[in-house]
Amino acid sequence: MGPANRRVREGAVGESIICGYVLPMNTSDPALSAPRAGRRLSYPMFALVVIVYLAIIQLGGLLMKSLTGAEDMLSTRSVFYGMIIPLGAALVFTYGVIAYLGWLRPVLHDDHPTRSWVRIVPIVFVVAIIFGINYSALADKGLLYVLVLLIATQFVGWGEEGVFRGIGVLVLRDHGLTEGRVALWSSIVFGAVHLTNGITHGVSAVPQAIMVSLAGYFFYLTRRVSRGNAINSVLHGLFDFTLISGTMIMADPTFYPGTLLPILLYPVLAIVLVIKRRSIEPATLATS
- Higher-confidence position of 118 and 31: 118
Q: Which residues pair with 18 in a beta bridge?
A: 21
pLDDT of residue 9: 38
Which H, E and C letters describe 145-180, residue by residue? Answer: HHHHHHHHHHHHHHHHHHHHHHHHHHHHHHCCCCHH
Q: What is the pLDDT of residues 51-65, one digit of tens each?
A: 999 999 988 888 887
Selection from 120, 117, 115, 97 nearest residue 107 by Cα: 97
Asked whether 19 and 178 are in contact (CB, 8 A), the reply is: yes
The fraction of the chain above a pLDDT of 90, given in percent, is: 53
Q: Is residue 124 part of a domain?
A: yes
Q: Is residue 83 part of a domain?
A: yes
Asked whether 78 and 86 are in contact (CB, 8 A), the reply is: no
pLDDT of residue 61: 81
Q: What is the pLDDT of residues 87-134, one digit of tens each?
A: 999 999 999 999 999 999 999 999 999 999 999 999 999 999 999 999
Q: Is residue 136 part of a domain?
A: yes
Q: Which helix (H) or strand (E) element contains residue 109?
A: none
272: exposed, middle or buried (C-beta count within 10 Å: 0-12, 13-18, 19+)?
middle
Per-residue pLDDT band at 284 (split at 50, 70, 90) = low
| Residue numbers of the domain that contains 261 | 9-286
Q: What is the pLDDT of residues 166-212, one digit of tens each?
A: 999 999 999 999 999 999 999 999 998 887 665 555 566 677 788 88
142: exposed, middle or buried (C-beta count within 10 Å: 0-12, 13-18, 19+)?
exposed
Q: Judge whether residue 32 has pLDDT over 50.
A: no
Distance CA 229, CA 168 (A): 12
3-class DSSP state of 280: coil
The fraction of the chain above a pLDDT of 70, given in percent, is: 79
Q: Is residue 281 part of a domain?
A: yes
Report the number of distinct structural domains present in the chain.
1
Gyration radius from the chain CA atoms? 21
- Higher-confidence position of 33 and 265: 265
pLDDT of residue 4: 46
b/e string for 101-129 if b means 16 or more Cβ within 10 A?
A: bebeebbbebbbebeeebebbbebbeebb
Q: Is residue 4 part of a domain?
A: no
**Which whole number is the average pLDDT over 151-175?**
96
- Higher-confidence position of 211 and 20: 211
pLDDT of residue 288: 46
Q: Is residue 91 part of a domain?
A: yes
Q: Judge whether residue 1 has pLDDT over 70.
A: no
Q: Judge whether residue 14 has pLDDT over 60.
A: no
Q: Which residues pair with 109 in a beta bridge?
A: 228
Q: What is the pLDDT of residues 207-264, one digit of tens each?
A: 778 888 999 999 999 999 999 999 999 999 999 999 998 887 765 566 777 888 888 8
Distance CA 29, CA 148 (A): 39
Q: Is residue 74 part of a domain?
A: yes
Q: Judge whether residue 2 has pLDDT over 70.
A: no
Task: Report if pTM > 0.85.
Answer: no
pLDDT of residue 145: 94
Q: Is residue 1 part of a domain?
A: no
Distances (CA, A) of 150 to 5, 80, 176, 248, 259: 61, 11, 37, 14, 17
